Structure 1
Amino acid sequence: MVLYKVYSQEYRIRYLAHPCSTAILFQISCLFLTFLPPLFTSYFTNGFYYKELTYSEQANVSFLEKYNLIIDSLSSLRFSSSDTRLNNYFSSSYYPSTLKTYIPGDINGDDIADQQKITLNIILPESISDKIINLWLIFQYSLNRYPLINMETLGLISLKAPSSLLANSTVNVYGQLRFHQREPILSYINDSSIQGSIIDFGTYSLVPSFDDILDRYNSRNYFTTFDQQYVQWSSSSLSSSTDSFIRLTINVVVNTGPQLYRYVPNFWKEFRWTWIQYFTSLLPFFYVANKFKEFVFSNGLVRTIVRKSP
């Protein structure tokens, strides 16, 4: 009958047993009781892998000096854009506008711009009282730590002009540009759905649909919104009575502070510290099991054949 070594002591004493013996069953039981308890403890406390992580980062945000200004009412549409193609599309509703100033600022001194001050001027032939104003500001948004993202994003500002406005009007808008994500960012894959411009002229044969553009943008996995925090309107009469045009000045302050981002780590990041915890907790189990087996075999509590080496 074949004999198997089930235990050895000090490299001189060997304990042998038949395959279907109590010594073999005892050794298998000790094996399970040594390795499984720390395994279950580590798994049910923290798990073995990071499926999703979060981290804080100050994103690099810059205004691309691209904007669309839509003043809408029940009777007419007034449009102005930094894109000449859009101005040509809406030539019948176009009114001239200019980007007067764009000043990025670093408030917390970390050498990353976290505030954008933007001023727009537009000249209109009539008052904008009770009109709806939609301003699209287009930014370049990038993350540079664990996940790498570089995409064009939108800050949509929606305002309603008060009824008491005079000829020269100014509106000051303060808000936060916030990042939204429908799923964690894959740190090892470039997402093609966020590449390219927000307004893709190749998908439109004639005039772009703004509703369709917004629907496509808001259905992306990653996008930004402008959280409006404060709005102040002011107006004054025209300085010259012969000037029949209405001037609207829009001052926007866009803050972009640090945010929490969800991402899926790569393989080495997934190999979390629980494995270290497992091997650490395995050591006392291994020590106790060896002492227990030494006691059982040396005292003959299970039937074995003892052989001593010279």
Structure 2
Amino acid sequence: MAFYDVYTHPALIRYRTRVCTRATLFVCVVLCLTYISPLLVAYRSQGFWLKRSTYEEQAVIQFQYDMIVIGATDTAGSYIAWSTFPNFNRLMGDQLRIPNVSVQEEDRDQDGKSDLLTLQISIPLKAEEQMFGIQLLLTFSYQLFRMSTVVMQMLAFVQHSSPVPGSQLFVCGDLRLNQRTPLPHRGLHSIYNVSLIDASSPFASTYDLANIIRLYQQRNLTAHLSGVIPVWTVGRAANSPFQISAQINYPVETITYLPGFWETMKFAWIQYVSVLLIFLWVFQRIQTFVFQNQVLPTTTVLPFKQHSS
């Protein structure tokens, strides 16, 4: 009659020795190498501690309806201007031109967040005036909520000039976040939630574009128009206004932040365990060889045997 295995299980064999023996020293060394070596390997291979991380979020961006428009009417330095700031307009005198402005923000995917801004500005010109260049400054509110709560005011600046007078400027670009330092993983970040232009100031230096941009660029968090494609159209009819058309997209941003303690430990644990498994397998085979072959003398204790009657 043939026999077959109905069940198997491993037998536990114990190897005993005294405290102060070479076998004890060997086991201590193996334990240290098994659990400390993976830590050193993971740390020295770069990326053990998660110092920075990223996530994606579409910011809540809203146009603040504040702007400054300056147009060069010749190549000798003459200009016209207008803004939404009354004190600025009073400073312009004869250079003031009040345009027609149309603004529309669209939420194309119906998620409650605006996806783009469409801006139309029609600037009246005198019959003898020609437009050779445009500077346009726009203000926005910018908010993030997924990790840390970020609330701030931002600028977008458009500038274009041409040696040939034009009738229209069309620009299209993405309003992108620029980070010099990563954000915290939680908390409120509202240090930049202040007005970028003091509308109550009567001084011309307050509205100087170079000064505004210089102070703005000193911040750790700014926004800029990326991938701007300007289209300058020539051939303006007499007494027709100069047209500015802008489409500014609000894309999904990749935000850099400082991870918290538990996220850092989770990442470090994965790095450590992935290397530890290899060391466990290697040193287990080494110990089995050493004690089975009695390379280091020990007392072998076999498992208790039960005999069936």
- Indicate the residue corresponding to 2:65 in structure 1: 65
CA contact (8 A) 2:85 2:199 kept: no
- Indicate the residue corresponding to 1:226 in structure 2: 225
Matched to 2:266, the amino acid is R
CA contact (8 A) 1:131 1:160 kept: yes
Matched to 1:213, the amino acid is I
CA contact (8 A) 2:50 2:259 kept: yes
- Indicate the residue corresponding to 2:178 in structure 1: 180
**Please, which of 257, 262, 267 is the counterpart of residue 256 of structure 2?**
262
- Indicate the residue corresponding to 2:27 in structure 1: 27
Please report how far the alpha carbon of residue 186 of structure 1 lies from its aligned counterpart in structure 2 after TM superposition: 2.7
| 2:141 partner SS | strand
**Please, which of 17, 34, 37 is the counterpart of residue 15 of structure 1?**
17
- Indicate the residue corresponding to 1:134 in structure 2: 135
**Please, which of 199, 202, 206 is the counterpart of residue 203 of structure 2?**
206
Q: For the residues of structure 2 that align with 1:126 and 1:273, how far apart are their CA atoms?
A: 68
| 1:97 partner SS | coil
Matched to 1:223, the amino acid is T
The 1:187–1:83 alpha-carbon spacing in structure 2 relative to 1, beyond 3 Å, is: farther
Query: Does 2:248 align with 1:251?
Result: no
Q: For the residues of structure 2 that align with 1:145 and 1:17, how far apart are their CA atoms?
A: 57
- Indicate the residue corresponding to 1:56 in structure 2: 56
Alignment of 1:68-83 (within 5 A): 68-72=68-72, 74-83=76-85
CA contact (8 A) 2:143 2:150 kept: yes
When normalised by structure 1's length, the TM-score is 0.75
Instruction: Output one character per residue of 1:29-70: Cα deviation in whole Å (capped at 9) or x when no partner.
Output: 112221133323433456322211233332222211110011
Instruction: Output one character per residue of 1:275-302: Cα deviation in whole Å (capped at 9) or x when no partner.
Output: 1352355356446646755765687654
Unaligned runs of 5+ in 2: 1-11, 302-309
The 1:67–1:43 alpha-carbon spacing in structure 2 relative to 1, beyond 3 Å, is: same
Alignment of 1:299-310 (within 5 A): 301-302=295-296
Matched to 1:174, the amino acid is C
> How many residues are paired up?
286
Identity of aligned residues (%): 26
Instruction: Output one character per residue of 1:248-300: Cα deviation in whole Å (capped at 9) or x when no partner.
Output: 33221112222333222222222233413523553564466467557656876
- Indicate the residue corresponding to 1:43 in structure 2: 43
Q: For the residues of structure 1 that align with 2:231 and 2:50, how far apart are their CA atoms?
A: 43
Q: For the residues of structure 1 that align with 2:284 and 2:169, how far apart are their CA atoms?
A: 79
RMSD of aligned alpha carbons: 3.6
Instruction: Output one character per residue of 1:68-114: Cα deviation in whole Å (capped at 9) or x when no partner.
Output: 011246343422111223223x2425524245321112345544322
Instruction: Output one character per residue of 1:116-172: Cα deviation in whole Å (capped at 9) or x when no partner.
Output: 11112333446552533101111122223234322211111112256455xxx4433
The 1:65–1:201 alpha-carbon spacing in structure 2 relative to 1, beyond 3 Å, is: closer
The 1:187–1:17 alpha-carbon spacing in structure 2 relative to 1, beyond 3 Å, is: closer
Unaligned runs of 5+ in 1: 1-9, 239-245
Please report how far the alpha carbon of residue 193 of structure 1 lies from its aligned counterpart in structure 2 after TM superposition: 5.0
CA contact (8 A) 2:15 2:299 kept: no
Q: For the residues of structure 2 that align with 1:160 and 1:63, how far apart are their CA atoms?
A: 25
- Indicate the residue corresponding to 1:5 in structure 2: none
| 1:273 partner SS | helix
| 1:194 partner SS | coil
Q: For the residues of structure 1 that align with 2:86 and 2:146, how far apart are their CA atoms?
A: 36
Matched to 1:37, the amino acid is S
Query: Does 2:124 align with 1:157?
Result: no
Matched to 2:225, the amino acid is F
Query: Does 2:276 align with 1:282?
Result: yes
Matched to 2:170, the amino acid is N
When normalised by structure 2's length, the TM-score is 0.75
Q: For the residues of structure 2 that align with 1:82 and 1:29, how far apart are their CA atoms?
A: 76
| 2:47 partner SS | coil
- Indicate the residue corresponding to 2:195 in structure 1: 197
CA contact (8 A) 1:193 1:220 kept: no
CA contact (8 A) 2:14 2:300 kept: no
- Indicate the residue corresponding to 1:116 in structure 2: 117
| 1:150 partner SS | strand
The 1:68–1:303 alpha-carbon spacing in structure 2 relative to 1, beyond 3 Å, is: same
Q: For the residues of structure 1 that align with 2:262 and 2:128, how far apart are their CA atoms?
A: 61
CA contact (8 A) 1:185 1:264 kept: yes
| 1:271 partner SS | helix
